[in-house]
């Protein structure tokens, strides 16, 4: 899902980063947001809605709409569309409102 060739833009994706998504090891690149790294790996469903448990993906991708909230390193309600991916991050699909520890 990565763009290989582009007439205007160059994407400097050099340093690979390993992270865990729902127990599975995945790879992204330094400079990716969590949501972008997941999307590049084909992960579209980032969470479930509060009451009807419908699948949720990102919507605005700029930190406005809260559709991309996930649990990251045990912290609930992280806006994954604007949070940078880091080495070894543990990213989980969030069920419900999330718990503040």
Partner 1 sequence: MKQAEIVVIGGGPAGLCAAMSAAKSGAGVLIIDRNKSLGGQLVKQTHMFFGSEKQYASTRGIDIPEILLKELAKYKDKVEIKTNSTAVGFYEDGVITVLEKEDKYYKVEPKAVVVATGAYEKFLSFPNNDLPGIYGAGAVQTLMNVHGVKPGNRVLMVGAGNIGLIVSYQLMQAGVKVAAILDAAPKIGGYLVHASKIRRMGVPILTSHTVKEAIGKDFLEKAVVCKVDEKFNPIPGTEITFDVDVMCISVGLTPLNELLAMRGCRMKYVPQLSGLVPVRDENYETTVENIFVAGDASGVEEASAAMVEGYLAGLCAAAKIGYKPDDFYERRKDYMNQLNNLRSGPAARHILAGLDQIRR
Least distance CB 5 / partner 1 (angstroms): 7
Q: What is the DSSP letter of 85?
A: P
Least distance CB 24 / partner 1 (angstroms): 17
Measure the CA–CA gap between 85 and 31, rounded to whole angstroms.
Answer: 7
Measure the CA–CA gap between 46 and 90, rounded to whole angstroms.
Answer: 14
Residue (4 or 101) nearer to partner 1, CB: 4
**Footprint on this chain of partner 1 (rule: CB under 8 A):** 1-9, 11, 13, 31-33, 36, 39-40, 44-46, 49, 54-65, 81-82, 84
Residue (6 or 88) nearer to partner 1, CB: 6
Question: Which residue do the tokens 């790879």 mark?
Answer: 27
Residue (63 or 87) nearer to partner 1, CB: 63
Q: What angle do CA 65, 85, 75 make, to 5 degrees?
A: 65
């Amino acid at each position: 899902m990565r763009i290989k060739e582009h007439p205007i833009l160059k994407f400097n994706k050099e340093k690979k980063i390993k992270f865990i998504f729902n127990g599975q090891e995945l790879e992204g690149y330094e400079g990716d947001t969590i949501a972008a790294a997941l999307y590049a790996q084909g992960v579209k469903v980032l969470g479930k809605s509060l009451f009807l448990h419908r699948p949720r993906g990102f919507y605005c991708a700029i930190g406005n709409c809260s559709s991309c909230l996930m649990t990251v390193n045990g912290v609930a309600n992280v806006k994954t569309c604007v949070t940078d991916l880091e080495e070894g991050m543990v990213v989980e699909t969030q069920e419900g409102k999330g718990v503040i520890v």
